[in-house]
Chains A and B, each alone.
Chain A
Amino acid sequence: MTDMLLTHYNYWVVMVLMMIGFYIVIAQGNLVKKLVGLNIFQTSVFILYISAGKVSGGSAPILDDAISVYSNPLPHVLILTAIVVGIATTALGLALIIRLREAYGSAEEKDIQEQNQC
């Protein structure tokens, strides 16, 4: 069990973060807060990828004659672009929230649903 703890703690950190983000998204009513939760969820996935690419004793993937072991560059590329795409989509979500707030006068999920039912 201690072995598991030492070798797999990265996945568990990711898991806890992911679940916190998930909880915020489904349990909280405020739309801005939901987006923050979604961001936490997103970051946990980033961490999962990056930690999967780490090789123990490895160095940053920039070629140099003095270094022989590198960490895996592929997850870095994927996550690098994912972060920038993530902020662009977050901005789109925030823009939608602003429009919703202007249309309904509230950024709470409950209020919006109630107004829709009337």
Chain B
Amino acid sequence: MLIATAIGIAVNRDLLSVVMLSSIYGLLSANFFVTMDAVDVAFTEAAVGAGISPLLMFTTMAIVGRYEKLPHRWSLSALVLVSITGALLLVATMDMPAFGAPDAPAQQHVAPRYIEQSGQEVGIPNIVTSVLATYRGFDTFGEVTVIFTAGVGVLSLLMVGDRATKPLSSHLLKASQHKILRIVSKVLIAPILLFALYVQFHGDYGPGGGFQAGVIFAAAIIVYTMLFGLDSARQVIDQAWVRVMAAVGVLLYGAVGVVSMVNGGNFLDYDVLAKDPLHGQHYGIIVIELGVGITVAAVMVLIYFSFAGRLVDRGHQDD
């Protein structure tokens, strides 16, 4: 089914259906991740692949235009190149370990240690969270910074924030006139926000954590913006404040590292945050997950605001 959807994307010329198909594709791959036991990943993919990324593409499409200009042609040279690469990869897969084999190289290196020791060393049941926040804490810090940088990049490309004071069209998308959509979304948005908070703070015990909570939170706000227009969303959430929050998340993460250094440990060594190392780990993980969640949510909302802001500004130019 994944392959069928992907082929559909390849042959379709109407960008609207391409984006709809890519949303279905995201949902399908989320299902796939659940069957592969990767519940945390499925959470993220469902929110990002099926939610935020198609929404951003819709907005871009509204600015750039819906149809591809040139009639679709099969490019022979590209097809040949792709087939050759595919054939080479096919040969390469012969050497790969069988699917699900417990003795595959991927299961040998550090993974057994994570599974066996993290219970005693970190003390939280969700191994994904402990690896993310503790063993690979530096890595995660880097990734949060990448997200923050991408947000800054989008803002500098599509700077619209300072023009928010002038009256903007409240009909961002036609959806704002649909009564059913408005009412259903009004009912749904509050539970989505609550669910995001649950995912954020329950990440130690079940699937969840900062990244997932951040995207779910942002998705709720984006739905609100789509249906009620950018104006009302900006009245609820001040854009300058969101910008500050994006930085606050990264700084919060870094601050945990600095505090643990001040307490005599290494950067991001949570053991020294409290008398009992296990408690220290808990504090550290909760705070950095909060930092991650704040940054991710703020950057996603900022990105959507700047895209939508562009759209509204263009609408004014056309008038």
Interface residues of A, Cβ cutoff 8 Å to B: 4, 7-13, 15-24, 26-33, 35-37, 39-40, 43, 46-47, 50-64, 69-77, 79-81, 83-92, 94-99, 101, 106-108, 110-111
21 inter-chain pairs at a CB distance below 8 angstroms, sorted by A residue, are A16-B6, A19-B86, A32-B18, A32-B64, A33-B15, A33-B18, A39-B22, A54-B100, A60-B37, A60-B38, A62-B126, A73-B128, A73-B131, A75-B106, A76-B128, A83-B211, A84-B211, A84-B214, A87-B300, A92-B154, A101-B65
Known: A19-B86, A98-B64, A108-B70. A53 touches B207 (CB 8 A): no
Is B240 in contact with chain A by the CB < 8 A criterion?
A: no
Q: Please name the residue on chain B nearest to A58 by beta carbon.
A: B37
Known: A24-B9, A33-B15. A88 touches B115 (CB 8 A): no
Minimal beta-carbon separation of B308 from chain A (angstroms): 12
Q: Please name the residue on chain A nearest to B139 by beta carbon.
A: A81
Give the residues in chain A near B151, CB-CB below 8 Å. Answer: 88
Give the residues in chain A near B303, CB-CB below 8 Å. Answer: 88, 91, 95
Give the residues in chain B near A8, CB-CB below 8 Å. Answer: 93-94, 96, 98-99
Secondary structure of the A contact surface, majority rule:
helix
- Interchain CB contact under 8 A, B29 and A43: yes
Please tell me which one of the listed residues B65, B104, B158, B215 contacts residue A99 in the complex, with CB atoms under 8 A apart: B158
Q: Please name the residue on chain B nearest to A68 by beta carbon.
A: B115
Minimal beta-carbon separation of A68 from chain B (angstroms): 10
- Interchain CB contact under 8 A, B85 and A62: no
Interface residues of B, Cβ cutoff 8 Å to A: 2-3, 6-7, 9-10, 15, 18-19, 22, 25-26, 29, 32-33, 36-41, 44-45, 48-49, 52-53, 56-57, 60-61, 63-65, 68-70, 74-75, 78-79, 81-83, 85-86, 89-90, 93-94, 96, 98-102, 104, 106-107, 110-111, 114-115, 118-119, 125-128, 131-132, 136, 139-140, 143, 146-147, 150-151, 153-154, 157-158, 205-207, 209, 211-212, 214-215, 296, 299-300, 303, 306-307, 310
- Interchain CB contact under 8 A, B147 and A53: no
Docked pose: A72 CA to B20 CA in angstroms: 32
Docked pose: A29 CA to B37 CA in angstroms: 38
- Interchain CB contact under 8 A, B111 and A72: yes
- Interchain CB contact under 8 A, A94 and B56: yes
Minimal beta-carbon separation of A39 from chain B (angstroms): 7
Please tell me which one of the listed residues A61, A90, A98, A108 contacts residue B68 in the complex, with CB atoms under 8 A apart: A108
Please tell me which one of the listed residues B53, B82, B300 contacts residue A23 in the complex, with CB atoms under 8 A apart: B82
Minimal beta-carbon separation of A65 from chain B (angstroms): 10
Give the residues in chain B near A73, CB-CB below 8 Å. Answer: 111, 114-115, 127-128, 131
Known: A73-B111, A73-B128, A101-B63. A54 touches B307 (CB 8 A): no
- Interchain CB contact under 8 A, A89 and B127: no
Give the residues in chain A near B83, CB-CB below 8 Å. Answer: 19
- Interchain CB contact under 8 A, A13 and B3: yes
Known: A29-B70, A46-B41. A40 touches B6 (CB 8 A): yes
Q: Please name the residue on chain A nearest to B35 by beta carbon.
A: A54
- Interchain CB contact under 8 A, A106 and B158: no
Docked pose: A17 CA to B214 CA in angstroms: 28
Minimal beta-carbon separation of A114 from chain B (angstroms): 12
Give the residues in chain B near A107, CB-CB below 8 Å. Answer: 64-65
- Interchain CB contact under 8 A, A81 and B48: no
Docked pose: A36 CA to B22 CA in angstroms: 7
